[in-house]
Amino acid sequence: MLAKLGARYAPVERCDASLDELGIFADFDEYSGGVYSSTMELAVRGKPTPLVALRWSPGRGVRVWAKLEWFNPFSLSVKDRPALLILEKLGVPRGSRVYEASSGNFAVALSAVGAVLGYRVRVYLPGFAGGGYAERVARLLGAEVVVDERAEFTPQLLERLRRDAAEDGAVHPNQFTNDYNFEAHLRGTAREIDYQRLRGGLRLRGVVGGVGTSGHMAAVAFYFKSRLGEVDVVLAQPARGEVIPGIRRRETGMLWLDLAGVYDDPVDVTLDEALEVVAEVARSDGILLGPSGGAALAALRKHCESTGCMQGDYVAVIPDTGFKYLALVDGRAEAGSDG
């Protein structure tokens, strides 16, 4: 396995980052005093996002540290990082059209960064996302929004998107196959966790999260398997027939997870199980995780119960906040606690 052999470069087609270079943290801006000259500077330099120890625990001797990606300013999610790097690398002039398919956070991130950089962004959303936060916020950010009622999943939007993009001369970044998605998380999410584990004196035993494109967890898993070798990688996937916003099942195909080859079998989680943990963490720690963050922690608890967890610290990436999903979180958490 490449990672075990200590590969210095990530095994993707186009990634300029080496592990040596990633171990340098000089660009993390701790001394700004929280003052930034623009929203763009905040998004790029206002890092790392917080890593916070939770009172919530999946079992004795296991401490969970939540990396709160909703502290990213544009989409309040893990998707600011890839949107920033992908748009920066596009190299097309201001005023260019950029078309992308997304079910939520990436649509918002791209619309926001596109607005600042002067791109004309159009996002294609599947039917279920219509009327939700993504459609409303993307419109507010000045993006054009196309909701395709017939599309149940994001990939079903691609044929129409490609046709429109060809007609209009638009660029299609494609977050599912664009290696800058993976690289953004190597340079950002993974490297920040490394820095924070050193600063906080963590005994890092595992990393935990869910997968959509697989950009962030493939990068985090690859980074720590390469650096530390023995690290549990716990991935959450929706149980068959279940829908958890932002994540999907392993067999639907995930580019970087396959390339990096650094994970154990994903753990099945139902939406109710995810929302139960969201409610537990709300009551133990006073913060409201999004459903995919709840799914990550639910998967960790199952993993500890079945396979056993090592004593020490586990870092869970929490992609966004439950404030975006109040109807879902509120309704189900109540139903769950009623038994």
Given a contact cutoff of 8 angstroms between Cβ atoms, the answer to whether 336 and 226 are in contact is no
The helix (run of H) or strand (run of E) holding residue 64 is strand 62-68
SS3 for 212-245 is CCCHHHHHHHHHHHHHHCCCEEEEEEECCCCCEC
Query: According to the binding rule CB under 6 A, does residue 313 interact with ligand PLP?
Result: no
- Applying CB under 6 A, the span of 5-13, 104-112, 194-202, 225-233 interacting with ligand PLP comes to 104-112
Query: According to the binding rule CB under 6 A, does residue 320 interact with ligand PLP?
Result: yes
Given a contact cutoff of 8 angstroms between Cβ atoms, the answer to whether 314 and 300 are in contact is yes
Residue 97 Cβ vs ligand PLP, minimum distance, rounded to whole Å:
22
Query: According to the binding rule CB under 6 A, does residue 105 interact with ligand PLP?
Result: yes
Which residues in 8-47 contact ligand PLP (CB under 6 A)? none
Among 216, 225, 301, 303, binds ligand PLP (CB under 6 A): 216
Closer residue to ligand PLP (CB): 57 or 213: 213
Helices and strands, counts by H and E, the chain = 13, 9
Among 22, 43, 76, 78, binds ligand PLP (CB under 6 A): 78
Among 245, 294, 322, 336, binds ligand PLP (CB under 6 A): 245
Residues shown for the chain: 339
Q: How far is CA 305 from CA 119, 226, 236, 273, 309, in A?
A: 48, 27, 15, 15, 8
Among 58, 104, 114, 294, binds ligand PLP (CB under 6 A): 104
Give the x/- contact pattern for ligand PLP in 261-300, rule: CB under 6 A: -----------------------------x-x--------
Among 49, 111, 178, 214, binds ligand PLP (CB under 6 A): 214
Q: Nearest Cα to 223, choosing from 256, 199, 265, 253?
A: 256
Number of residues that bind ligand PLP (CB under 6 A): 21
Closer residue to ligand PLP (CB): 216 or 303: 216
What is the spatial distance between Cα 271 and Cα 242, in angstroms, rounded to a whole number? 6
Q: What is the CA radius of gyration of the chain?
A: 19
Which residues in 163-202 contact ligand PLP (CB under 6 A)? none
Among 58, 210, 294, 336, binds ligand PLP (CB under 6 A): 210
Given a contact cutoff of 8 angstroms between Cβ atoms, the answer to whether 65 and 315 are in contact is yes
- Applying CB under 6 A, the span of 20-28, 49-57, 99-107, 121-129 interacting with ligand PLP comes to 99-107
Per DSSP bridges, beta strands 97-101 and 120-126 are parallel
Query: According to the binding rule CB under 6 A, does residue 319 interact with ligand PLP?
Result: yes
Q: Which residue is nearest to ligand PLP (CB)?
A: 246
Query: According to the binding rule CB under 6 A, does residue 247 interact with ligand PLP?
Result: yes
Residue 77 Cβ vs ligand PLP, minimum distance, rounded to whole Å:
6
Q: Is the dihedral of CA 314, 320, 326, 331 positive or negative?
A: negative
Closer residue to ligand PLP (CB): 96 or 174: 174
Q: Is the link from the previous residue into 93 a cis peptide, with omega within 30 of 0? A: no
Give the bridge partners for 316, in sequence order.
Answer: 66, 208
User: Where along the sequence are the contacts to ligand PLP (CB under 6 A)?
Assistant: 77-79, 104-106, 210-217, 245-247, 290, 292, 319-320
